[in-house]
Structure 1
């Protein structure tokens, strides 16, 4: 599939997209799942998940390099055939759709619980999705430009937050390092490998990055950067709230921004951080909706896949509103999608790499 230059993004935009989409996972309710399994060592689950996903990403990057201008599913179709590619595309669609729905509802529930307790969830969620849909309709290049333009301000706000949090940190709360035990941390790291699933899913946009070198630099630089952000944020939660408390806190990020203050006089500064957080969340789900539509376009052979943005956004709204409450949304649906999708992440890239090598050998 060829691309027009206007559809492509460079290193800065691609880097920003990754940092925002993955980095914000340290501020959502995924943190609750990790703290439940790892207690004060939840940050090690993040690190372990990253180490487990890296071999697959290296192999996938190698395969993408061989098939220039082909996205993940197009490469799968060439390597494994149409029937298997259809199955992989269907699984990928189900995951991204469920993940977008559950994750976005979780953010809105988080916002309502802490900041807008009298606002109906459906109304706030509908307004949010309409805004994201508007952003997605602007196209991939515009989304990348928005991500790059807001990233410096988001990082500045995060730096201020971390500085204020560290002023009240109690560092020995991170001990014992392995929390519930080494083996439990390893199992949890394996289960939550999907924390970095965006690095796999965004291979759908490979043809829409300037070139392979830009894609590779953007991928690994952003992954290392977001890993550092996530680890530091998880550690900060532990340093401020001990592990007994953090297990009972539903929204660690929101509690942290309510906890910090500038001196003894300037308190209640959470509105400042919430504003930047909402901007990041808007960019994140604008990107997610666009990528979901891209997968739908491949699955149903829709060239102008941008026309599916409206129906897909409506579908996301419907799916997200099905769970009775946020506990079901997070601890049943979200946990299931995170833990089950890991098999595709870990095993599809090696299979593609092996099949590609076999085909190269036969071609000689």
Structure 2
């Protein structure tokens, strides 16, 4: 890495919050509402409880082995061949998540703001800008996230404040929606809603102190879980029981409900600016991490030139689904379900192997 180690816990916190927190404003609520209807806001709670211990265990191993990123840690514990195999699986998860999620956001931008524009053109512009910014390096990305975080969160919590008067509390009932069993099952299957925490560990050694990565990561993940649950709960109370699973973009629909007085309407444009800022930061980080993981697996030190090819591959892969329904309700749903058990159990496997080798006692 060319970047100097100047990143601190505040940058890590900002990256986590923007990288994962944008799931409160995409089609993830609609995906979860298909399963649990008005109780979908509970699913992220269960998902976080399921996945967070594995993330903490991974942080523990990274702390023990020192100066190792995710791929290096797996190679150190499992051996070069098996470690690279696991690393390649993580890369596939990250790349497919990037492709499917980017298609999700491109469809939102197109349908909401540029309905006459071809999807492919919007896709090229969106990923092209992310590619250009990603080439600036992870240090710049971290500082940009820290600067952009207050602007985005002021807008987000302003929206929450303004819409709260429209919320109707009884709409959370029946409290368990389609059933407690559905909530628990979907919560376990959707633990990978927080998969980005694991992808970020490729950047573990780029911080001024590795403690900063752990502190920012843990605090950021807790904050973002609470924020997501809060907004999902607001969506539940704003939209009625029958419509909650039929709304594609609840965040943008919520902005239609508010105005600043009688003369200032169409305020969704105001929130769109900050939503786009957060979306770009998310995919700048995502594209950079995917390229970084690939480079680490194949021992490529100077990987910034690979960002452009991966941006192109992202567009190609993202355009493969016929439409946004297949992309979201079928492919992304299945990907989340597949990733969850792997992300839960691979840190446990690493710990078992490291413990059996006696490494944890020596380090």
Give the C-alpha shift of residue 156 in structure 1: 0.6
Listed one character per residue, the Cα deviations across residues 164-188 of structure 1 (whole Å, up to 9, x for unaligned) are: 1101110111122211111111100
Task: Structure 1: state its 5+ residue gaps.
Answer: none
Listed one character per residue, the Cα deviations across residues 194-250 of structure 1 (whole Å, up to 9, x for unaligned) are: 000011111111011222321121011101110111011101111110121111111
Give the C-alpha shift of residue 263 in structure 1: 3.3
1:7–1:140 Cα contact (<8 Å) kept: no
Return the TM-score normalized by structure 1: 0.96
| Match of residue 24 from structure 2 | 26
Listed one character per residue, the Cα deviations across residues 18-44 of structure 1 (whole Å, up to 9, x for unaligned) are: 000110011111111111111111111
The separation in 2 between residues aligned to 1:307 and 1:56, in whole angstroms, is 33
1:338 to 333, 336, 339: 336
Shift in alpha-carbon separation, 1:4–1:322, aligned structure 2, 3 A: closer
The separation in 2 between residues aligned to 1:85 and 1:263, in whole angstroms, is 59
Give the C-alpha shift of residue 254 in structure 1: 1.2
More deviation in 34-43 or 282-291?
34-43
| Match of residue 53 from structure 2 | 55
Shift in alpha-carbon separation, 1:7–1:175, aligned structure 2, 3 A: same
Listed one character per residue, the Cα deviations across residues 301-351 of structure 1 (whole Å, up to 9, x for unaligned) are: 211011110111010011011111111111222111111011121100111
Listed one character per residue, the Cα deviations across residues 121-176 of structure 1 (whole Å, up to 9, x for unaligned) are: 11111111111011110000000011011110101101110011101110111122
Listed one character per residue, the Cα deviations across residues 35-87 of structure 1 (whole Å, up to 9, x for unaligned) are: 11111111110110011112111211110011111011111111111222122
Is the counterpart of residue 112 in structure 1 residue 110 in structure 2? yes
The separation in 1 between residues aligned to 2:179 and 2:229, in whole angstroms, is 18
| Match of residue 189 from structure 1 | 187
Shift in alpha-carbon separation, 1:5–1:142, aligned structure 2, 3 A: closer
| Match of residue 75 from structure 1 | 73
Give the C-alpha shift of residue 361 in structure 1: 6.5
The separation in 1 between residues aligned to 2:222 and 2:123, in whole angstroms, is 32
Aligned pairs for 1:211-226 (under 5 A) are 211-226=209-224
| Match of residue 36 from structure 2 | 38
2:92 to 87, 91, 94: 94
2:190–2:337 Cα contact (<8 Å) kept: yes
Give the C-alpha shift of residue 7 in structure 1: 4.4
1:256 to 254, 258, 264: 254
| Match of residue 232 from structure 1 | 230
RMSD: 1.5
Listed one character per residue, the Cα deviations across residues 249-285 of structure 1 (whole Å, up to 9, x for unaligned) are: 1111111112222234422110000110000000000
Return the TM-score normalized by structure 2: 0.96
What is the aligned length? 362
The separation in 2 between residues aligned to 1:332 and 1:181, in whole angstroms, is 22
More deviation in 91-100 or 271-280?
91-100
1:298 to 291, 296, 301: 296
The separation in 1 between residues aligned to 2:272 and 2:82, in whole angstroms, is 43
